[in-house]
Structure 1
Amino acid sequence: MNPTTVADILRVITREPGRPRITWYGDDGERVELSGAVLENWVNKTVNLLVEEFDAEPGTRVLLDLPPHWRTLVWAFGVWRVGACLVTAGTEGDVVLTGEPSNHPDRAQLVAVAMPALARGFDGVLPSGAVDANRAVMTYGDQINWAPQPDPGAWALTDVTHEGLRGWAAPSTARDEGERVLWEPLAPGEPGVLDLLRCGLDTLARGGSLVALAPSTSLAMREDAARRTRLMDTERITTEWRSYR
């Protein structure tokens, strides 16, 4: 099987449901690990929210205003699972996913995402009508109730169709199946969230697992070679995504 859609990828990673698929090292030393089964549940909950709250479907444009983060991967996979299109800053969206709702005060269809690992809700004032993603998503089931099927020719990104999404994610250099892959920014702000999405899609489609670092954690490890070596050994990382850029 050559997985080409998010639905295909979810089937690949749940063949071994307990195996770690995303491991996130965030600010302040937080470490979050999602197995294949847990990642699928998060994506399914997100899909249910997008469909039931916003009627998300092929043609719906979802503005992604989130930093590189494991929650960003979950939301992106949910958007693509319903066949919708992710757009980035500077482009209008029908729905806005953001960690900074004050940046979008006039948006009626606003989803506020709190990034801390244990956040159960958004800590702050939300505009009227905004959805508190962390609270809302937990009210939805772990299995998809119903979701539209992606149209292969519809846009998944501004310039990439759903049919072309897998090719967009694949690096030009050959990679092995089942790798444990490290993703890290090479400099503050670079690479950005789209690079993380590329790495996540490609790694999981190959049956591998991803270790991703927040920018602050990546910077700290670049300044502490011993700490970075311990990470590589402890997490049994077999390759680094930057090798394939």
Structure 2
Amino acid sequence: MQIALPGSGPVPDVATLLARLAADGGRPRLTWYGDDGERVELSGAVLANWASKTVNLLVEEFDAAPGTTVVVDLPVHWRTAVWALAAWRTGATVALPDAAVAGPDVVVTDTPERWADGGADLVVVSLPALARRYDGDLPAGAIDAASAVMTYGDVIGWVPEVDPNQDALVTAAGAVGHKGLVPEPGDGTRVLVDGRGPVADVLRDLLGTWAGGGSVVLTSAATAAALEADDARLERLRGSERIV
């Protein structure tokens, strides 16, 4: 399955990528297979809309901008992709927990107890698709992403100018700048991405696939393991999702 991307040529940054996704109508760009049979499908326009709302939250609540460090402490998940895209669109640096960044400005997490005493502004994410609020006790001052994101505008308001020379993604293995964040575009096909991979690798796989006009079927780690153990189920998934 090939999906033509509106516009052509290289994708120099996340802002350009989101603009192209927003113009892409209702074709699937990210299909998520989570635990317990959960399936979520996002078109390019819907994916960009989620990112836009989240950009507005980050800017309005936390003044996210170049120089802001946002720790994304989430597993491989479609919501992880949204938060990373949004943070990059503000020019912020996304740091993964293994980077052990000192003094992050914002932490986005599904496990707030790990960060309650860290001093950073805290956003608590509920991973189930139908969650409308966090099912637990929020630390004082924390934002419940499930209820908060939907209150923000569908169109990005004011957003800082991204500095291409600043770090975009920081892990224990090193850093990637905004200028080199989006990899070489893929070939426009629909691909299966294994959720057991490192979060940083998965995020860049998504960027490269979308940059080339392609579409992703992304699995949770548990679903990826189950598919590996069941060839028939894997082949059914490949057939039903038209995965190359």
Scaled by the length of structure 1, the TM-score of the pair is 0.90
Q: Which residue of 2 aligns with 1:65?
A: 73
Say if 2:108 is the partner of 1:97.
Answer: yes
Residues in 2 aligned to 1:212 and 1:80: alpha-carbon distance in whole angstroms: 20
SS of the aligned residue for 1:202 comes to: helix
Confirm or deny that 1:180 pairs with 2:173.
no
Partner of 2:15: 7
**C-alpha contact (below 8 Å) 1:108/1:130 kept by paired residues:** no
User: For each residue in 1:141-191, what CA deviation from the matched residue of structure 2 results, as whole angstroms up to 9, or x when unmatched?
Assistant: 10011111211111102311111112xx34xxx842x21011014xxxx42
Instruction: Determine whether 1:129 maps to 2:150.
Output: no
Residue deviations 1:72-121 (CA, integer Å, cap 9, x gap): 00000000000000111122311001000001111340000000111111
Give distance in 1, aligned partners of 2:186 and 2:202. Answer: 17
Partner of 1:143: 155
Tell whether 2:178 aligns with 1:162.
yes
What is the distance in 2 between the residues matched to 1:124 and 1:56? 26
Contact 2:186 2:211 (C-alpha < 8 Å) held by counterparts: no
Change in Cα spacing, 1:175 to 1:52, as seen in structure 2 (3 Å) is closer
C-alpha spacing 1:103/1:18, structure 2 compared with 1 (3 Å): same
- Which residue of 2 is the match for residue 82 of structure 1? 90
Aligned pair partner of 2:121 in 104, 109, 117: 109
Runs of 4+ in 1 over 3 A off after TM superposition: none
Question: Residue in 1 aligned with 2:132?
Answer: 120
User: Which shifted more, 200-209 or 69-78?
Assistant: 200-209
Q: Secondary structure at the match of 1:152?
A: coil
Q: Kindly indicate whether the alpha-carbon contact (under 8 Å) linking 1:79 and 1:86 is maintained by their aligned counterparts in 2.
A: yes
Q: Name structure 1 gaps, 5 residues minimum.
A: 239-245
Identity of aligned residues (%): 54
The one-letter code of the counterpart of 2:177 is T
| Corresponding letter in the other structure for 1:19 | R
How many residues get paired? 228
What SS class does the counterpart of residue 23 from structure 1 fall into?
Answer: strand
Between the aligned partners of 2:65 and 2:72, the Cα distance in structure 1 is 16
